[in-house]
Amino acid sequence: MEKRVTFDNRLLPYLLLTPQLLVTIVFFFWPAAQALYQSLLLPDPFGLGARFVWFSNFEYLFGDSYYLQSFITTAVFSFFVTLASMSFALLFAVLADQVIKGEGAYKTLLIWPYAVAPAVAGVMWLFMFQPSIGVLAFYMKKAGIHWDPLLNGTHAMTLVVAAAAWKQISYNFLFFLAGLQAIPKSLIEAAAIDGAGRWHRFRTIIFPLLSPTTFFLLVVNIVYAFFETFGIIHTMTLGGPGQSTTILVYKVYADGFVGQDLGSSAAQSVILMVVVGLLTVIQFRYIERRVHY
Amino acid sequence: MATISLRDVRKNYGNTEVIHGVSLDVADGEFIVIVGPSGCGKSTLLRMVAGLERITGGTIEIGGRVVNELEPRERDIAMVFQNYALYPHMSVFDNMAYGLKIAGKSKAEIRERVDKAATMLQLEPYLARKPRALSGGQRQRVAMGRALVRDPSAFLFDEPLSNLDAKLRVQMRLEIKQMQQSVGTTSLYVTHDQVEAMTLADRLVVMNAGVAEQIDTPMEVYRKPATTFVAGFIGSPAMNMLRGAANGTGFALDGGGRIAVRADELAGHDRPLLLGVRPEHLVLAGDRDPEFELSVIAVETLGADTLAHGRLAGANGTGDAFVARLPGSARVSAGDRLPLVIEPGTAHVFDAESGQRL
């Protein structure tokens, strides 16, 4: 049976919702509406006035090869960040779930990275892999890898993917661990008695039962890779070398605040909103069907 | 099908021993019920047979093969869990077929075996459903079906009925018994419910604090409980225990008062004793000489029976509480003094110190 709280006072429920609604309106709906409006304007070079240009900002963007390239960069970046952070998190969660001694220590250590600010994480990874002074770059060179994220786009991409994924592992780990612990032990035991080995149990029982968690994390991680990785990109590569790590959200910033093309920047952020909205709808529509709740 | 034998099986958690050496021989096709209060180690014992808990000492053999170091899947057993442990993301069919698929059986054989089990358990209409769309009793049947299709050497049941309501429990109890009799597979069944234990078992293992206090047929356990624990655990309401000593022609209670029990039952015992009398072995004296009197404090009317709770007349202060089970037709009310006699040959005498039957 569904339990519902009933309020005697008719106003109270609305009052209780007000803070959250206010925050959403002030920090989301208002700027979103502003962006929508801005995206239809073309400011003059000195920022003194703006002309209403309908959709020419959008038209221009879709003819811009740099912008289209940024889509591909974002797709590659998001795919690898999500894949890496989720699979490592799952691996760690499965291992931590089996640990008996020092359980608390392992969990704490695995959750810690989440407390590091993205920019700080970016700087830290940058130092470690800086070709001339980085500790890890030194060993990579010793191992014969020609490591050069400052000039090599693939190397730069690898580095930002690693940093962004590393940051998100903790978050995913926490959810996967909770998901694993919610699976009744007796199911695993029943499968063991039914003759399933470790890997088979994981594949046929544990992983399917984790699917609600996995699905949730998939949505969260893609949104993370799209938006919240700004700090990492900004501190590590500034979108370079060339355009090789300029993901969409970074391009919004670079074009708007560095390039001072506010109209285009606003148009890009509108497109980004639509893209994320669409991705989420697609995920719920098509992937959720395969999820066993 | 197979025999199971436990030799001085022990289990430690750290330095704490929780199973203190249990030995048991289960014949092929026998239905053994392990019964005891919660925390007595009965589930642990079963899980050791299943291979879900390590065995600290002793040996367990299934079908003449020592299985101490074998994985659960190598032991050829099937287990029914208290919470059923059905795979929630699989249909009833897939739940039952899971083990067979792993064993690499052909599609046709899997179909045939599952269908056979489903027919036996009346589950055919539900094969395509997910467990959450089933009632408690149906889930229980699926769990049994999953054990059944694998045709294992032994069934292990871990309190399989305790999540069901009272009415369903009685029905499923009967079904489990019938199923076990028709397939004839050796079974170990753990429960804390003495009625389940009495009705299902070929033989009972009564466990208390990690020790098997008595292993015998239900009737023998009832008629000749080996210890005061068994005496109190099996039978409802529990057996009355009276502390005292043999005294000439009767039994002198520590709390004062005296029961004129026939001397032959107490002969030769001059140490402190416990006299056990089941409530159902007391009858109103009628025109016989009463052996003692019961001051009734409360009466419970159950229809077929009437339970008279009270204290022995003559016992001072907080003398032992005492229950007599009388026919439903008996007219008793609180405040009465009932003259009672013990049915001949039904009193039990235990050593007051060790609790052992004498």
| Residue boundaries of the structural domains of chain B | 4-233, 240-351
Per-residue model confidence as pLDDT tens digits over B83-109:
888 998 899 999 999 988 888 888 999
pLDDT digits (tens, 9 = 90+) for A254-291: 887 777 777 788 888 888 888 888 888 887 776 666 66
Note whether residue A55 is domain-resident.
no
Which of A193, A199, A202, A214 has the highest number of chain B CBs within 10 A, making it the mutation to test binding with B? A193
**Residue A265, in any domain of the structure:** yes
**CB B99 to CB A200 under 8 A?**
no
Average pLDDT over residues B213-234: 91
d(C-alpha B213, C-alpha B211), whole Å: 6
Between β-strands B31-35 and B240-247, what pairing exists: parallel, antiparallel or unpaired? unpaired
Which of B71, B77, B89, B130 to substitute to test the interface with A, most A CBs within 10 Å? B89
Partners of B89 on chain A (C-beta within 8 Å) are 208-209, 211, 292
The verdict on a CB contact (< 8 Å) between B78 and A186 is no
Distance from CA of A80 to the nearest CA of B (A): 29
Q: Which of B27, B46, B1, B2 is nearest to B212 (CA)?
A: B46
The mean per-residue pLDDT over the stretch B143-156 comes to 89
Nearest to B37 by CA among B183, B187, B154, B211: B211
State how far residue B50 is from chain A, nearest Cα, in angstroms: 8
Q: Which CATH number fits domain B4-233: 3.30.428.10, 3.40.50.300, 3.40.50.410, 3.30.70.20?
A: 3.40.50.300
CB contact under 8 A, B78 and A193: yes
On the question of pLDDT at B334 being above 90, the answer is no
* N-to-C CA span, chain A: 18
Nearest residue, CB atoms, A200 vs list B71, B89, B102: B102
Provide the ipTM.
0.79
- The answer, yes or no, to whether residue B297 has pLDDT greater than 80, is yes
pLDDT digits (tens, 9 = 90+) for A127-162: 888 877 888 888 888 887 777 777 787 888 888 898
Which of B48, B73, B158 to substitute to test the interface with A, most A CBs within 10 Å?
A: B73
Does pLDDT of A117 surpass 70? yes
Q: What is the pLDDT of residues A55-73, one digit of tens each?
A: 777 777 777 888 888 888 8
Whether residue A31 lies inside any domain: the answer is no
Question: B83: which chain A residues are within 8 Å (Cβ-Cβ)?
Answer: 184, 186
Q: Is residue A160 part of a domain?
A: yes
Tell me if A194 and B81 make a contact (CB, 8 A cut-off): no
Please give the model's pTM, rounded to 2 decimal places.
Answer: 0.78
CATH for the B240-351 domain, from 1.20.120.530, 2.40.50.140, 3.90.226.10, 3.40.47.10: 2.40.50.140
User: Which residues, including other chains, have CB under 8 Å from residue A165's CB and lie 6 or more apart?
Assistant: A80, A81, A84, A85, A88
CATH number at residue A175: 1.10.3720.10
Q: Number of structural domains, chain A?
A: 1
User: CA–CA separation, B241 vs B231, rounded Å?
Assistant: 9
Q: Residue B132: its chain A contacts at CB < 8 A? A: none
CB B64 within 8 A of CB B2: yes
Q: Do B85 and A196 touch (CB under 8 A)?
A: no
Query: What mean pLDDT is reported for chain B?
Result: 86
Could you report the per-residue pLDDT of A71-82, keeping only the tens digit for each? 888 889 999 999
Residue B275 near residue B259, CB atoms below 8 Å: yes
Q: Which of B51, B81, B89 sits opposite A190 (nearest CB)?
A: B81
Average pLDDT rounded to a whole number, residues A31-37: 84
Residues 6+ apart with CB under 8 A from A26: none
Interface of B with A (CB under 8 A): 50-52, 71-73, 77-79, 81-83, 85, 87-89, 98-99, 102-103, 146, 150
A185 pLDDT higher than 60: yes
Contacts of A192 in chain B (CB under 8 A): 51-52, 71-73
CB neighbours of B135 closer than 8 A, spacing ≥ 6? none
B-interface mutation test, from A100, A101, A186, A194, most B Cβ less than 10 A away: A194
- The residue range of the domain holding A141 is 66-290
In a domain, A182, yes or no: yes
B292 against A1, higher pLDDT: B292
Minimal Cα–Cα distance from A210 to chain B, Å?
Answer: 11
Whether A17 is covered by a domain: the verdict is no
